[in-house]
Structure 1
Amino acid sequence: MSGFPLLEPEDAPAATAALFAEAQQAFGMTANLTKAMANSPSALRGYLDLSDALRHGRIPLPTRERLALLVAQHNSSDYALSAHTYRATKVAGLTPDEASRARRADSTDPEAEACLAFAHALLIHNGTVTDADLLAAHTTGLSPELLLEIIAHVALNVFTTYVTTAGRVAIDWPQTRHTD
């Protein structure tokens, strides 16, 4: 079954071409995810805006990549696992072991582990975290600001995993499978 067509930047209408240029500047490449999202300029704009806002948040890049890996694993998204394993190990400085641990909501970094634990609770409870989950997050030092950023990262990454899975987007990264 075919998925979303991949629009090429050179074939895009002017408004979409501008979004491609933003994606290229933000990510250094035009990934198949972006080419698929370009079928809806509104969806691509939302993705770029939320990605940009979260890049300027308090959560550091290594932890952002850990969160993306956790969501990708939870949603069995080989595209997202491939992209974020690459970014985590080649851009964010995580070791392959640390990237693998993130997929299980585990980390050697205490703050990252706390972020992953809260994100994991969000995922397994579909956003309805328990009082114990909130208490654990507060006990580990996660502020309301960080909790809201974690929620935003989970939402962004759920969105991208859904796009790549539902859209059958071809993996354009060194492949990592959710079954690995």
Structure 2
Amino acid sequence: MTHFAPVEPDTATGESADLLTQVKKSLGAVPNMTKGMANSPTLLKSFLALSGAVGSGTLPAAVRERLAISTAQLNGCEYCLSAHTMIGANVAKIDGEELDGARRGESSDAHIAAVLQLSNTIAENAGDVDEADIETALEAGVTEEEIGEVVANLALNVMTNYFNVLARTENEFPVVSL
């Protein structure tokens, strides 16, 4: 049972209504997560702003989806794991083996593997990573710009993971179990 009553777009008022309209316009639908977030317009605005910012970065969508999957697995967020596995497969066109590998912070592509490993190391150590971890990523071709974007993606993914776990958001996606 969800801890936050979903705010339905057709009955929302004020800022929540405007934000949910923005969600529908950009995604074509209003996911349950954003309906729950609409209880706090500040949270929903934060999600939309950060999501837009990371979406305009240099990391391709297929890498961002893998990062979201990896972080959801780390944080125990079945909602995000399910959503990003579906998006990864159907929108970013990531094959099943790569989607499964992302759950473990792995990829057959050395550059993507380095990005995922660094992201997991940052998340697992609250940002306090060894110099060797940074050097390993740089040697694999990860740029400083990409490292910054890894942190931005972590911020976005941790925000959505924590919200969905806390809210017990009802999962409308094909369930991918933790």
TM-score (norm 1): 0.95
Q: Which residue of 1 aligns with 2:25?
A: 25
Cα shift readout 1:110-160 (whole Å, capped 9, x = no counterpart): 221111011011121121111111111111121211101001101100110
Is the 2:2–2:170 contact (alpha carbons within 8 Å) kept by the matching residues of 1? no
Q: Which residue of 1 aligns with 2:92?
A: 92
Indicate the percent of aligned positions where both proteins have the same amino acid. Answer: 36
Q: Secondary structure at 1:10's aligned position in 2?
A: coil
Cα shift readout 1:160-179 (whole Å, capped 9, x = no counterpart): 0100000011101010011x
Aligned residues: 178
Point out the more displaced range, 13-22 or 69-78: 13-22
Q: Which residue of 2 aligns with 1:34?
A: 34
Q: Which residue of 2 aligns with 1:152?
A: 152
Q: Which residue of 1 aligns with 2:15?
A: 15
Is the 2:34–2:44 contact (alpha carbons within 8 Å) kept by the matching residues of 1? yes
Cα shift readout 1:6-59 (whole Å, capped 9, x = no counterpart): 110011113211111211122221000000100100110010011011111000
CA distance in 2: counterparts of 1:92 and 1:62, whole angstroms? 5
Aligned structure 1 segments of 4 or more residues deviating by more than 6 angstroms: none
Q: Which residue of 2 aligns with 1:171?
A: 171
CA distance in 2: counterparts of 1:163 and 1:11, whole angstroms? 22
CA distance in 1: counterparts of 2:112 and 2:20, whole angstroms? 31
CA distance in 2: counterparts of 1:65 and 1:48, whole angstroms? 16
- Please tell me whether residue 81 in structure 1 is matched to residue 84 in structure 2: no
Letter of the 2:142 counterpart: L
User: Unmatched 5+ residue regions in structure 1?
Assistant: none
CA distance in 1: counterparts of 2:158 and 2:114, whole angstroms? 19
Q: Which residue of 1 aligns with 2:4?
A: 4
Cα shift readout 1:86-114 (whole Å, capped 9, x = no counterpart): 00001100011110100101111222111
CA distance in 1: counterparts of 2:156 and 2:112, whole angstroms? 18
TM-score (norm 2): 0.96
Letter of the 1:109 counterpart: D
- Give the 5 Å matches for 1:15-164: 15-164=15-164
Deviation at 1:2, TM superposition (A): 4.7
Deviation at 1:72, TM superposition (A): 0.4
CA RMSD between the two structures:
1.1
Deviation at 1:64, TM superposition (A): 0.3
CA distance in 1: counterparts of 2:120 and 2:156, whole angstroms? 15
Letter of the 1:131 counterpart: E
